[in-house]
Amino acid sequence: MDLSVVILAAGQGSRMRSKLPKVLHKLAHKPLLTHVIDVAEQLSAQDIHVVYGHGGEAVRDALADRNVSCVKQEEQLGTGHAVAQAVPNLVDDHVVLVLYGDVPLTTKETLQQLLEKVSGTSMGLLTAALPNPHGYGRIVRNSEQVVQCITEEKDATEAIRKITEVNTGILAVSGRKLKEWLGRLKNNNAQGEYYLTDIIAMAVSDGIEVKTSQASAVEEVEGINNRSQLARIERYYQRQQAEQLMTAGVTLKDPARFDLRGSVKTGTDVVIDINVILEGDVVLGNDVEIGANCVITNATIGDGSIILPNSVIENAVMGQECTIGPFARIRPETNLAAKVKIGNFVEIKKAEVGEGSKISHLSYVGDSIIGKDVNIGAGTITCNYDGANKHITEIGDGAFIGSDSQLVAPVKIGAGATIGAGSTITNDAPAGALTLTRTKQRSIESWTRPQKKK
């Protein structure tokens, strides 16, 4: 059966107290709505329709590069009315799955189970057993436990309010039936809204069986209405990711203090200390160790490399057995070969660094091509920017740059060259030679120190 997905995202989410529409708030660095669209894509939906609301242009704009159709619900007249906005785009013989833009964590497996409930004579409804069902629509069953209808809390009698099986809102039904039932919805209820939930009683009277299924965790069907719920769901999600990594053989010193905001591929025996944040697409080779408080974004780290505490790495690739930090900053387009050592308070930007080279202390290296076994002394600066353009510094294999040197680019340091400490190098330095720019040292024997005035 072909599948269409309708995602309701017209709510403003006023309880977020934000200028951003609720569904664009982020969970693990990804908008809530994107989590929902991603799972719809995992289900191989033929088409995905996002219903956005008044002021929701930001939602539509955020989806410009996604393969979804956006439909505007001008006025929020209820969940049934919201789904009806997508109806002109729905194919009769597709199964339609209704999801919510503010319910980000429903899994593919849970939704597949729900979709299996749909046939020519049945539909699927995702329900949840909640000890405190307050606020939710209740699932009303007859004495044979057959679903009869959903009653919203505001329309419910005392007896119905005692029911703890609730409507998650997520359901799956044939497109043809959905269209027919939506056309018959009335808004004569406590909230004066067109309730999607009223289609359940219509299904029953049309002889369509309502088959229910449940998610494996309540967090999967939890909607986010405020920042407190967002934070709680974030922690739940992070904990799940941490558990998956530990199952895959990664040591997390404290799974409660680990955040993955993207994806990570890990080799064997990776060790991650506390307060590490991985973002985007990260690859950690075998035996990689990440120290406390590191932020690593879109990076590949080779086998046996060690990232010491408080280092920040972004859009970089490094080979095997490198040592980075503590307090190092590796900026975009940096490519480190194997066995490179980057020490404390070193900033590297857009640089190639050859195997075995060392930049151990307090340096800035940008727009540079550095050979093998180069030693860059403490406090070295590549002066890559003339105020208008960036220029390249090239340093040959085995060169030794004395401490506190400035290499004014464009400039080339030959292989095996030595630069005397404290030099400002503005012309190319030949291979093998010592180059230095330094005034002669002198001593003044007769000099006396100034005395403090009486």
CA distances from 22 to 13, 222, 308 (A): 5, 14, 37
Answer for the pair 5, 45: CB distance below 8 angstroms, yes or no: yes
Determine if 150 is a binding residue for ligand UD1 (CB under 6 A): yes
Q: How many residues bind ligand UD1 (CB under 6 A)?
A: 26
Determine if 293 is a binding residue for ligand UD1 (CB under 6 A): no
Q: Which is nearer to ligand UD1, 97 or 346 (CB)?
A: 97
**Measured between alpha carbons, how far is 345 from 325 in angstroms, rounded to an integer?**
8
Q: Which is nearer to ligand UD1, 223 or 326 (CB)?
A: 223
Q: What is the DSSP string of 278-294?
A: EEEEEEE-TT-EE-TT-
CA torsion angle 105 201 211 68 (round to 10): -40
Q: Which of 167, 300, 334, 393 binds ligand UD1 (CB under 6 A)?
A: 167
Q: The dihedral of CA 86, 88, 89, 90: what is its sign? A: positive
Q: Which of residues 176-205 bind ligand UD1 (CB under 6 A)?
A: 195-197
- For 428, residues 6+ apart whose C-beta sits below 8 A from its C-beta are 411, 412, 413, 414
Q: Which is nearer to ligand UD1, 223 or 416 (CB)?
A: 223
Q: Which of 25, 35, 81, 329 binds ligand UD1 (CB under 6 A)?
A: 81
Q: Which is nearer to ligand UD1, 50 or 301 (CB)?
A: 50
Determine if 364 is a binding residue for ligand UD1 (CB under 6 A): no
Q: Which of 29, 81, 361, 391 is catalytic?
A: 361
The nearest distance, CB 44 to ligand UD1, in angstroms, is 24
Binding segment (CB under 6 A) for ligand UD1, from list 97-105, 322-330, 367-375, 384-392: 97-105
Answer for the pair 311, 330: CB distance below 8 angstroms, yes or no: yes
Cis bond leading into 131, ω under 30°? no
Residue type, 57: E
SS3 state at 255: helix
Look at residues 403, 388, 298 and name the one whose alpha carbon lies nearest to residue 346. Answer: 403
Q: Which is nearer to ligand UD1, 211 or 391 (CB)?
A: 211
Q: By CB neighbour count within 10 A (0-12 exposed, 13-18 middle, 19+ buried), where does 211 fall?
A: middle
* Triad 431, 434, 436: Cα angle to 5°: 120
Determine if 220 is a binding residue for ligand UD1 (CB under 6 A): no
The nearest distance, CB 245 to ligand UD1, in angstroms, is 31
Determine if 86 is a binding residue for ligand UD1 (CB under 6 A): no
Cis bond leading into 430, ω under 30°? no
Determine if 169 is a binding residue for ligand UD1 (CB under 6 A): yes
Q: Which of 5, 10, 208, 374 binds ligand UD1 (CB under 6 A)?
A: 10
SS3 state at 147: strand
Our answer to whether residue 361 is catalytic in this structure is yes
Q: Which of 3, 97, 100, 378 binds ligand UD1 (CB under 6 A)?
A: 100
Binding segment (CB under 6 A) for ligand UD1, from list 76-84, 141-149, 253-261, 328-336: 76-84
Q: Which of 77, 125, 318, 401 binds ligand UD1 (CB under 6 A)?
A: 77
Determine if 346 is a binding residue for ligand UD1 (CB under 6 A): no
The nearest distance, CB 331 to ligand UD1, in angstroms, is 40
Q: Which of residues 241-270 bind ligand UD1 (CB under 6 A)?
A: none
The nearest distance, CB 373 to ligand UD1, in angstroms, is 60
Determine if 321 is a binding residue for ligand UD1 (CB under 6 A): no
Q: The dihedral of CA 440, 443, 447, 451: what is its sign? A: positive
Look at residues 23, 150, 10 and name the one whose alpha carbon lies nearest to residue 81. Answer: 10
Q: Which is nearer to ligand UD1, 137 or 302 (CB)?
A: 137
- Please give the residue ranges that form the binding site for ligand UD1 (CB under 6 A): 8, 10-11, 51, 73, 76-79, 81-82, 100-102, 136-137, 150, 152, 166-169, 195-197, 223
Indicate which residues carry an active-site annotation: 361
